[in-house]
């Protein structure tokens, strides 16, 4: 029973870096502002020791992905991933944050006292601790990279003027997005 209690405690503690990576961002008022709601339901035994539980998130500020106010930055996971050169280059995101449209909008990629590289290590550790398989982790990182690539796409009007299409210079970006999402462009 003691091992079970310790396991549950560890899972609850380990989930926090993961939730912060995907749900927190720098705002003009707070460098690590939660941009989502979180409800934790913890089950206890008759002695008050945690036995299990689950975390529900809601109200994620999805609009932050494509735009931030001046002085703010996007969700931490984007900047964290860019610190791992092996992971980012294999996904085609090997430029500094300022090169990505979705990351340069708030013009504030750095936060004094925040180590994105160390925090990314904690995020990956949290993923392992809560039981995400290597395949699931890779799929999640592919999705995050695809989002950054999507922000780089440009469009042009179709010949008949009735719509738009991905511009010729963006075709390689679209191919990269398709590869990351394991689909056809």
The CA distance from 101 to 109, in Å, is 12
Mean pLDDT value of segment 42-68: 75
User: What are the C-alpha distances in Å from 46 to residues 43, 50, 51, 139?
Assistant: 10, 10, 10, 40
Pick the residue with more confidence: 109 or 179?
179
Would you say residue 34 has pLDDT above 60? Answer: yes
Token readout for 106 is: 């708030």
Distance CA 182, CA 167 (A): 21
Q: Decide which of 153 and 7 is more confident.
A: 153
Q: What pLDDT score does 84 carry?
A: 93
Mean pLDDT of 64-87: 88
pLDDT in tens, 86-122: 888 999 999 999 999 999 987 767 788 889 999 999 9
Entry field: residues in the chain: 185
78, 144 Cβ separation under 8 angstroms: yes
Q: What percentage of the chain carries pLDDT values higher than 90? A: 48
pTM, entire model: 0.81
Give residue 41's pLDDT band: very low, low, confident or very high (50, 70, 90): confident
Contact status, residue 26 vs residue 111, Cβ threshold 8 Å: yes
């Amino acid at each position: 029973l003691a091992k079970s209690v310790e396991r549950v405690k560890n899972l609850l503690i380990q989930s926090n870096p993961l939730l912060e990576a995907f749900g927190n961002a720098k705002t003009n008022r707070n460098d690590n502002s939660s941009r989502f709601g979180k409800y934790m339901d913890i089950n206890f035994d008759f002695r008050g020791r945690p036995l299990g539980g689950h975390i529900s998130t809601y109200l994620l500020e999805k609009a932050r992905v494509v735009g931030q106010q001046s002085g703010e930055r996007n969700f931490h996971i984007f900047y964290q991933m860019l610190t791992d050169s092996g992971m980012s280059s294999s996904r085609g995101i090997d430029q500094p944050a300022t090169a990505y449209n979705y990351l340069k909008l708030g013009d504030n990629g750095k936060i004094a006292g925040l180590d994105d590289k160390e925090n990314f290590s904690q995020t990956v550790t949290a993923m392992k601790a809560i039981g995400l398989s290597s395949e699931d982790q890779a799929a999640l990182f592919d999705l995050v990279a695809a989002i950054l690539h999507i922000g780089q796409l440009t469009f042009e009007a179709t010949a008949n003027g009735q719509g738009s299409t991905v511009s010729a210079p963006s075709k390689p970006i679209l191919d990269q997005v398709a590869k990351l999402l394991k689909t056809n462009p």
